[in-house]
Structure 1
């Protein structure tokens, strides 16, 4: 190292606080997560330093890690760090604190949004989310604000998904990716994995069934996810395979998922899994088994919301339409599902119903 660079290092690294750590991260042009990996510390540790600013002083051993990180940085990064330090000193003003937000009110609105989405009250849910997404300015120093921002993005993605807006520049896919970047920077691995799972759901909804099945399969053993989410991934492997026409393979995934949901005492997912099993049996031409499975789902309905009602009744109608003796009843039920979907703006469901209707009208 040249003498000039050595003097520069001595001048800029004499003291480390959260402020200097943040400036080093910016100089290295790394995210919080990448910077944590560069230092060999947890992302939460970096976030804590930065949220504390000048008032947070890392432990002596960590000060040495930061010294080493600066010393091994590329000369361009060290020059950027020196410039940032000088600009901060010359400004001679306190660091700008994050804007004040009523985080308790925000969290309450997200709870209301979740309830509204469950009832398919999309305009109200959109209003609550826009209130915060349009007001909040993302700031990596504001850990709590960023967490609520990430949750808001995820719920907005779910709203778009339920309405069938799954691809394009203003879609669930893009919104989930924004949320994934937020939670990656915050270092919340479980939230990141859940969003990766949601993105695979969109792949399935878009008809990329082979890709979806493979990605679901990889998530069935992902330790970042809870046992419940891993089991849902297993169920969805079966769903994708069933849609692909590989119904026997599908049941080999769905039946173990049913057993797991039962052992975990998850009645809603247990019921939905029977609905999926019924469709797999129908696809295999096993109408008696399909009838038994759908009767289980009908006898143990999930929460009575428009979305769940439409999904269950559409599956029931699909099975009824497969038997000449019940075709008329199946078409009547399918028409009712179409009216409900249209009323609540469940556009993806409406498209699926249209596809089923066209198949049986041609038969």
Structure 2
């Protein structure tokens, strides 16, 4: 939430506009004369409310809801820029105010939660309100770090929506975030962006290139042990998509053991989902069902994306056996409905691809 350490007419005007009140209604709300509010708005930064009136303004802002605070922050930044331009037309606004850093960081935390729930519209509004306000070249190191985090999260959003290539894609956002972290000299973040870019490469169909990048990152000391294990898991994913299912299984099992040692239940669950698909590709449906059952009953988080991925994998396996084809179609239809509801375009395309492949005939099951 925004706070104002020292009110001027500028901040008072931003609060009135954020509350969507007329000058008269705002004056009535504060218990002041209309002439007082009019004076603030005519003089802006050249006038200051009295100390007792500053306390009244503090109270009005403190009681406002989240939507008002968001509008207040945006309007205050816009009005400040306009005032600065009017007095110094050749001077460029140099970056966020002190309170804006805090608000920006809070919005990033909220965006992470929104993305975990696939609330893309809200996450996008939280990110673009800051990315549209500042340019990387105008920011100090603190601001540039927030800019880089925002850009990386925007890449995650675009990736989850299935937009992987092009000027408004996940690849573009990840590349921008990587450049910012490189400028800041934070190698761990740079390596994490390399990992994200490899995921985009895999999603775009360049499996061999993605697998090679994953292999390099799986032994990259810039990354944490968990991120290296994830890179190893994704080596297996790319190999499996490329048809090398048995080797992919061995690589994935090594990553699975690493997640177990690290006590990472969510990653461990995802690893079993990937193993299930690799065994399905190898025609070993018995083991595929065992792995997908483990994936469906483990892990600690629940999100629409996770449900869709698990149901799509489960449906794919069921569809591969003539005896369970009808069940597989039901599960895939359920996954498609959730994917469409939350705008998970890439997942929806994958489900449609699975259905299309089923008409070509499932792999020959190898039961044990």
> If the length of structure 2 is used for normalisation, what is the TM-score?
0.71
**From 184, 191, 194, the counterpart of 1:193:** 191
Is 1:353 the counterpart of 2:366 in the alignment? no
| Rounded Cα–Cα distance in structure 1 between residues aligned with 2:93 and 2:158 | 35
Per-residue deviation at 1:137? 2.6
Shift in Å, 1:362: 3.5
Between the aligned partners of 1:155 and 1:180, the Cα distance in structure 2 is 12
Is 1:270 the counterpart of 2:276? The answer is no
Gaps of 5+ in 2: 1-90, 362-368
Structure-2 separation of matches of 1:99 and 1:345: 33
Instruction: Kindly indicate whether residue 310 of structure 2 is the aligned counterpart of residue 312 of structure 1.
Output: yes
> Is the partner of 1:158 in helix, strand or coil?
helix
CA distance in 2 between partners of 1:277 and 1:324 (Å) = 21
Matches within 5 A, 1:36-55: none
CA contact (8 A) 1:166 1:202 kept: yes
Displacement after TM superposition at 1:275 (Å): 0.6
Q: Give, in whole Å, the separation in 1 of the partners of 2:269 and 2:108.
A: 27
Q: What is the SS of the residue equivalent to 1:350?
A: helix
Residue 239 (structure 1) aligned to one of 214, 226, 237: 237
Aligned-residue offset at 1:361:
2.5
Tell me if structure 2 keeps the 8 A contact 1:271–1:302. Answer: no
Match of 1:297 in 2: 295
Contact 1:163 1:345 in 2 (8 A): yes
TM-score normalised by structure 1 residue count: 0.72
Shift of the 186–211 alpha-carbon distance from structure 1 to 2, 3 Å rule, reads same
Secondary structure of the structure 1 residue equivalent to 2:137: coil
* Alignment partner of 2:97 out of 97, 100, 109: 100
Where does residue 286 of structure 2 map in the other structure?
288
Structure 1 pair 95–136 and aligned structure 2 pair: CA distance change class (3 A): closer
User: 2: distance between equivalents of 1:132 and 1:175?
Assistant: 14
What residue number does 2:140 align with? 142
RMSD: 1.6
Shift of residue 139 of structure 1? 3.3
- Please give the per-residue CA displacement for 1:243-297, whole angstroms capped at 9, x wherever unaligned: 1110011011100111000000000000100010111111111111111111111
Partner SS for 1:167? coil
* Mapped partners of 1:295, 1:146: distance in 2: 44
Q: Distance in 2 between matches of 1:310 and 1:95?
A: 47
**3-state DSSP of counterpart to 1:362:** coil
Preserved contact between residue 245 and residue 281 of structure 2 (Cα < 8 Å): yes
Q: Which runs of 5+ in 1 are unaligned?
A: 1-93
